[in-house]
Amino acid sequence: MADDEIIPLECTFLPYALCPDIEKYYNFSQESLYQVLR
């Protein structure tokens, strides 16, 4: 909970072969994985 509100927690799994080294090019604490993959 955050400020007495329920917040979602999402886990996403991607095959490394499809997105090698993606974490080197994007900061996912600042960017949405869904936006990057669009």
Residue by residue, what is the 3-state secondary structure of 1-34? CECCECCCCCCCCCCCCCCCCHHHHCCCCCCCHH
By the 8 A CB rule, do 33 and 12 touch?
yes
Quick one: residue 29, left, alpha or beta (phi over 0 = left, psi -120 to 50 = alpha)?
alpha
pLDDT digits (tens, 9 = 90+) for 19-31: 999 999 999 999 9
pTM of the model: 0.54
* pLDDT band per the 50, 70, 90 thresholds, residue 3: confident
